[in-house]
Amino acid sequence: MPQSRVRFIGSRELHRDLPKVLESLEDPTARFVLTIHSKPKAVLIGAEAFLELLRGHTQADRLLALQLGALVQGLESSTATETDTVAEPELVGASV
């Protein structure tokens, strides 16, 4: 099975390199995590990869979901106060 290529990219870099990013998304294993101020805000995948997700989750996609869940949960926990409750991120397809 091919390894998923996950790359973190900032909004300025995405704006500057959009044509290259879009071209690289033709590879169905390419994944970009869009960050704003070093915080993950979105995952960019190509159309073929999206169709694959609709058909069924791959092991690489489950790993990405776990990694992003941990990142998001860590960021939310660091900004929560004692009275706040932090919702667990839903990890679609991450069941073992």
The one-letter amino acid code at 48 reads: E
- State whether the Cα torsion 51-88-31-21 is positive or negative: positive
Q: What is 5-79's CATH number? A: 3.40.1620.10
Cα–Cα distance list, 76 to 41, 50, 93 (Å): 12, 27, 22
Residue-wise pLDDT tens digits, 15-67: 999 999 999 999 988 999 999 998 999 999 998 888 777 777 778 777 777 87
Whether the model pTM is above 0.85: no
Asked whether 33 and 43 are in contact (CB, 8 A), the reply is yes
Averaged over 65-78, what is the pLDDT? 72
Residue 79 makes CB contacts below 8 A (sequence gap 6+) with none
Domain ranges in the chain are: 5-79
